[in-house]
């Protein structure tokens, strides 16, 4: 199952804070897709995922200042 978290327009660290809360609510094996436009989160979210043992399955730039990242909960 895939859950989408849209945090466009939120300044850091809120996209990361919301991602941490959202991933707690999904089941192991599910994916959390985070859409964001905070430049700092391009580093903080992947780093948090790696440190937490989650797999980043997709990370791409959507526009000039927007990104999407998919994190699989193990």
Which residues belong to the active site? Answer: 12
Per-residue CA distances from 70 to 10, 57 (Å): 18, 5
Cα–Cα distance, 74 to 70 (Å, whole number): 13
Integer-rounded Cα Rg, in Å, for the chain is 11
33, 2 Cβ separation under 8 angstroms: yes
């Amino acid at each position: 199952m895939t859950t989408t978290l849209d945090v466009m327009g939120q300044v850091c660290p809120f996209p990361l804070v919301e991602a941490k809360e959202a991933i707690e609510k999904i089941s192991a094996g599910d994916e959390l897709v985070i859409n964001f436009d905070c430049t700092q989160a391009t580093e903080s979210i992947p780093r948090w995922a790696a440190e937490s043992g989650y797999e980043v399955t997709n990370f791409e730039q959507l526009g000039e200042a927007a990104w999407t990242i998919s994190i699989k909960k193990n």
